[in-house]
Chain A
Amino acid sequence: MSYWSAPWKMGGILLLAYVIIRGFGTPLQPGLVEANPNRLTPGLAELELKAVGQPFAEENASIEGHQLILKSGQDLIATNLTRISPHSVEANAVIPDLLPSPALDAFLFTPASGTLFLGNAFFVEGAGTGPVPQAFAATPPDKVNPDLGFSFPYQPNIIESIRNLLWHVPMWFAMFFVMGIGFVASLMQLRTDKVDWDHRAEAAVRTGLVFGILGLATGSLWARWTWGAWWVSDPQLNGALVTVLLYTGYMLLRAAMGEDERVGRITAVYNVFAFVMLVILLMVLPRYTESLHPGKDGNPGFNSYDLDNSLRAVFYPAVIGWGALCYWMYNMRLRMNRLEYRLLTQ
């Protein structure tokens, strides 16, 4: 086999190399991650906000141009910034006795990094309910749109683990792709009863299972970081696990039937059933239930929050690269099946 005779194989590997270099080498946009103390009482308060992504230049940088504003309901509260270090800002604020809402969001306006936001950064105990008095009100500065260069979007909770998007999601796409090939092959097997379609279906399911297990493993790692648990009882996650188990059942059925001449037709029927279940469990059911999983809860597609242009520039090559690798593995397994069959029937 020469790479020149199959450029898509080489292309797939090169795309994955690009994804690894870009995926791990691209910095994250700055964002606020933590507020201290997160419980306040009316009166003078000393606040500290921590950030990732180096948004505040050097140690003891000038606070000029920076502004921290707290938001309660629709009302804005001014603060007095006192110190900036590369990863944190400190401020004094007078918390009024009356607030529309006890939960305060923090907006930090910076000249270099734009507006950083932390929802429910502080919670005020002991304040009455009412509009913020005029003396405490703040006016936000003009919006700036700094050039942050090629960087991945900052998402609360996900933070650096957003890079896993380039592994986890394309692996599932690759699994869908080959399982789709297997589904068509099984339908053709039932229609024509030709053994080559059975070879295709077996190769597709075997390859798809590898990617399904990798998708589960990368998803579980991601869940540990963002949700704090290796596994949560969620319709999307459970559906993915059931799908992988269903296809494991396909392989067990094949193994159990051995050389039985009906193996092709019986496993083809099972495979059609398994693919229909895959579509129901991963694409239909999560639309009707609430799910922690992003892109679910009514719309399984990505939205502007999930992907921005810099992430798209790496995500789409990742989809093609993983797809090519998956198809290469499927293709080799199919050729092995054909060769084995030819040797056994000679």
Chain B
Amino acid sequence: MNLPMNHILFLNSLEGFFFGSGKAHVVTGVSLIILAGIAFSLWRMDRRLTQLENENNDTPS
């Protein structure tokens, strides 16, 4: 069942698929960029929400 996967692991003779090919760094970089994007969008949304809450509190009902 795992033989095709093992074949991938041996493609790089020195350190194996994940590290030797440098893919670990690419995966780390892409994941960090995605996380930064999520954090930024949440932060912007949070800020807008706070503004709306403040405006709504100022408006007399």
Contacts and interface: CB of A to CB of B under 8 A. Distances in A.
Contact of A339 (B19, B39, B47, B52): B52
A34 interface: yes
Contacts of A190: none
A34 B3 contact: yes
A336 interface: yes
The dominant DSSP class at the B interface is helix
Nearest to A88: B10
Contacts of A53: 16
A332 B43 CA distance: 10
Interface residues of A, number: 37
Contacts of B38: 325
Nearest to B57: A342
A17 interface: yes
A66 interface: no
Interface in A138-169: 157, 159-160
Contact of A159 (B9, B14, B27, B49): B9
B32 to A, nearest CB: 6
Contact of A1 (B10, B35, B50): B50
Interface in A169-216: none
A87 B49 contact: no
A87 B28 contact: no
A225 interface: yes
A87 B16 contact: yes
Nearest to B50: A1
Interface in B1-20: 1-3, 5-6, 9-10, 13-19
Nearest to A225: B5
Interface of B: 1-3, 5-6, 9-10, 13-19, 24-25, 27-28, 31-32, 35, 38-39, 42-43, 45-47, 49-50, 52-53, 56, 59, 61
Interface of A: 1, 3, 9, 13, 16-17, 20-21, 24-25, 27-28, 33-34, 50, 52-54, 85-87, 157, 159-160, 225, 227-228, 325, 328-329, 332, 335-336, 339, 342-343, 346
9 contacts: A1-B47, A9-B43, A16-B35, A54-B15, A87-B16, A157-B2, A336-B49, A339-B53, A343-B56
